[in-house]
Copies of this chain bind each other. A is one copy, B any other.
Amino acid sequence: MNEFNEYFKSAFTVDNVIFGFDEGDMKVLLIKRGEEPYKGKWALPGYFVNPAEDLDAAAKRVLGELTGLRNVYLEQVRTFGAVNRHPAGRVITVAYFSLIKISDYAIQASSIAQKAKWHSIARVKDLAFDHKEILQACFNRLKWLVRARPVGFELLPPKFTLTELQHLYEAILETELDKRNFRKKILSMNLLIDLDETQEGVAHRPARLYQFDKEKYEEFLAEGFSFELKESKKKENPLRKNASPSFP
Contacts and interface: CB of A to CB of B under 8 A. Distances in A.
A84 to B, nearest CB: 9
A89 to B, nearest CB: 5
Interface in A51-80: 51-55, 76, 78-80
Contacts of A185: 239, 241
B240 A243 contact: no
A8 B12 CA distance: 8
Interface string A108-151: 00000000000000000000000000000000000010011000
Contacts of A3: 88-89
Contacts of A248: 239
A211 interface: no
Nearest to A238: B173
Contact of A52 (B11, B80, B83, B169): B83
Chain A interface residue count: which class?
35 or more
A203 interface: no
Nearest to A143: B238
B243 A246 contact: yes
Given A1-B90, A81-B94, A181-B237, A51 B242 contact: no
A10 B239 CA distance: 42
Given A1-B89, A79-B55, A10 B8 contact: no
Given A238-B147, A240-B246, A241-B246, A51 B8 contact: yes
B8 A89 contact: no
Given A12-B92, A147-B244, 13 more contacts: A1-B89, A8-B11, A8-B49, A8-B51, A9-B10, A10-B12, A54-B81, A55-B80, A55-B82, A92-B92, A169-B239, A173-B238, A239-B248
Interface of A: 1-4, 7-12, 48-55, 76, 78-83, 88-92, 94, 144, 147-148, 169, 173, 175, 177-178, 181-182, 185, 237-246, 248
21 contacts: A1-B90, A3-B89, A4-B88, A4-B91, A7-B11, A7-B48, A8-B51, A54-B81, A55-B81, A76-B78, A76-B79, A147-B244, A148-B244, A185-B239, A185-B241, A239-B246, A241-B246, A242-B244, A242-B246, A244-B244, A244-B246
